[in-house]
C-alpha cells in the first residue's frame, strides 16, 4: 500500500505549504513516459519515508495554475519543500539514491 499523496489546488496549501514534514512533490502527467517511469520509485520512497517525509503527486494537466506558479516547464519535475519553501529540485528521471540523498538532507 503506497503512502503517496495526490495533490490538487484544494489540498496543496494544507498538505505541502503548511506541512511539518518535508515534502517531495512530483509534477507529472499521465501521458508522460518518463513520469510513468518514476512512478515505482516514488511509490517505494512513499512507503520507506512514511512518517518522515511526504511523497506527493500533482497532475500538471489538472493543476496548471500550480505548475505555472512553480515554473514547471519540463516534467517530471520533482520539487522538495521544507517549511513551505522550495529547497531543492530535480527535472527528469532521477535515480532512487539521488532522491534519498535529497530527502535525507532535509530531515
Domains located in the chain, CATH noted:
5-106 (3.40.30.10)
* pTM for this model (two decimals): 0.95
Active site residues: 32, 35
* Confidence at residue 107, expressed as pLDDT on a 0 to 100 scale: 72
* Cα distances (Å, whole numbers) of residue 2 to 22, 25, 41, 57, 73: 17, 15, 11, 12, 27
Cα(25)–Cα(72) distance, integer angstroms: 12
Tens-place pLDDT, residues 33-90:
999 999 999 999 999 999 999 999 999 999 999 999 999 999 999 999 999 999 999 9
Amino acid at each position: 500500500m503506497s503512502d503517496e499523496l495526490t495533490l490538487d489546488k484544494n489540498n496543496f496549501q494544507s498538505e505541502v505549504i503548511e506541512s511539518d514534514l518535508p515534502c517531495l512533490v512530483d509534477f507529472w502527467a499521465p501521458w508522460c513516459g518518463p513520469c510513468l517511469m518514476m512512478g515505482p520509485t516514488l511509490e517505494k520512497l512513499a512507503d520507506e519515508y512514511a512518517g518522515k517525509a511526504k511523497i506527493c503527486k500533482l497532475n500538471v494537466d489538472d493543476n496548471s495554475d500550480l505548475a505555472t506558479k512553480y515554473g514547471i516547464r519540463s516534467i517530471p519535475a520533482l520539487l522538495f519543500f521544507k517549511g513551505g519553501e522550495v529547497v531543492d529540485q530535480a527535472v527528469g528521471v532521477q535515480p532512487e539514491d539521488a532522491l534519498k540523498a535529497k530527502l535525507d538532507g532535509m530531515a
